[in-house]
Amino acid sequence: MAQCWHLARLWYRGREALEWRRPTVERMEAIFADVGLAGPFWSLK
C-alpha cells in the first residue's frame, strides 16, 4: 500500500493543472521504476 501511495503521488500530483501534459512512455516507465515496479508486467512497450 505504501508503494502504491508513492506511485499515486508521482502519477497524479498536478494532473488537474491547465498546463498538464501527458507524460511520455519513457517518463511513465521511469515512474514505475522509481517506485520499484519492474519487469515485463510494468513495461508499456
Partner 1 sequence: MAMHREPLPGHEDEIDRRVRHGIYQSFMETARAPTAAGLASALDLPLDAVARSIDRLAAAHAIALAPGTRNVWMAFPFSAVPTAYPVTTAQRTYWANCAWDALGVSALLGVDAEVHTQCADCGDSLVFGVRQGHVESHAVVHFLVPPKRFWENVGFT
The residues of the shown chain that bind partner 1, judged by CB under 8 A, are 1-5, 7-9, 11-20, 22, 28, 32, 40-45
CB of 9 to partner 1, least distance (A): 4
Identify the residue whose cell numbers are 516507465: 29
CB of 33 to partner 1, least distance (A): 13
CB of 23 to partner 1, least distance (A): 12
**Hey, what's the cell of 42?**
510494468
Identify the residue whose cell numbers are 501534459: 21
Task: Give the span between the Cα atoms of 34 and 9, in whole angstroms.
Answer: 12
Identity of the residue, 8 or 30, whose beta carbon is nearer to partner 1 in the bound complex: 8
Q: In the chain, what's the furthest Cα-to-Cα distance?
A: 33
